[in-house]
Amino acid sequence: MGRKVKYSSKEKINAVKEYLDGKDSINSIAKRLDITFQAFKQWVNNYEAMGADAFMTCHNKHYSKAEKEQAVAAYLAGEGSHMDICKKYKIHSTTQLRRWIKKYNGHEELKVSGTGGLTIMTKGRKTSFEERIEIVEYCIAHDHNYTATAEKYEISYQQARNYTVKYEDGGVDALQDRRGKRKSEDMMSELERLRAEVKLLKAEKKRAEMEASFLKKLDEIERRRG
């Protein structure tokens, strides 16, 4: 790669149309323009999602609270690659999305662009063992909807996911916070532990029953069609 070349909106649009019209490949066009494959692929995605406006407003685009929140949550929920999420939510660059995700995973507050910095996402907070049990119970019963769980209990998306994964990997004991050797949790009685396990097992059973009911209805529909 040589020096970084800036292209006008018209030049970008013409290059993208050349690819979309099947006149040349991404690799060939990117090489000719002296840019990376990923950079040109981003141009194509942006054009497909936003049309010519993708290149007209690039430097003035402000992202709202909902846009940032939804994009980060969608990526963390595994709904697609960085490029897929950028295309879906009309984000001009994967670099922007990566920056938001990095801030969020570090429990930093994301700000709304161009508005003086309004907080848009709930920061992580300290939770008790009882709260973590309730959080995981809700999350499992609601089909692992981490976003809804985070909103309901006013915690971060990452906390909702981590608590659930910890429980599924290590059981109730994994939800104890042993930092600082908290007596109330380290000396949890067998009765308290069993109560917590029963609560979470009930949530798992409820989810399994819902899934079985759905599959049964699906079978009935397929049989009727047959």
Q: Are residues 137 and 214 in the same domain?
A: yes
pLDDT digits (tens, 9 = 90+) for 71-123: 888 887 777 788 888 888 888 778 788 888 777 665 555 554 443 443 434 46
Last residue of a domain, one of 71, 99, 121: 121
Q: Are residues 139 and 200 in the same domain?
A: yes
Question: Distances from the Cα of 177 to the Cαs of 108, 144, 185, 194, in angstroms?
Answer: 22, 22, 7, 17
Beta strands in the chain (DSSP E): none
Least confident of 66-70, 78-82, 217-221: 217-221
- Mean of per-residue pLDDT scores for the chain: 75
**What is the mean predicted confidence (pLDDT) over 115-136?**
69
Query: What's the total number of domains in the chain?
Result: 3
CA distance 178 to 162: 16
CB 29 within 8 A of CB 18: yes
Radius of gyration of the chain (CA): 24
Written as one letter, the residue type at 109 is: E
Query: Are residues 148 and 207 part of one domain?
Result: yes
Question: Same domain for 66 and 87?
Answer: yes
Are 121 and 146 a contacting pair, CB within 8 Å? no
Max alpha carbon distance in the chain (Å)?
Answer: 71
> Domain containing 97: what range?
62-121
pLDDT given at position 105: 61
Structure tokens at 87: 């295309």
- Can you give the pLDDT at residue 92? 78
In terms of average pLDDT, the best of 59-63, 173-177, 182-186, 209-213 is 173-177
Q: Are 136 and 183 part of one and the same domain?
A: yes
> Same structural domain for residues 216 and 133?
yes
Give percent of the chain with pLDDT exceeding 70. Answer: 72
Q: Residues 140, 211: one domain?
A: yes
Residue bearing the bigger pLDDT, 60 or 24: 24
Looking at residue 118, its pLDDT comes to 37
**Residue 1: inside a domain, yes or no?**
no
Q: Is residue 199 part of a domain?
A: yes
Q: For the chain, give me the number of helices (H) and strands (E)?
A: 12, 0
Q: For residue 18, is pLDDT > 50? A: yes
150-202 per-position pLDDT tens digit: 888 888 888 888 898 888 888 888 887 665 444 444 455 676 777 787 878 87
pTM: 0.39
Q: Which structure tokens are listed for 105?
A: 């995973």
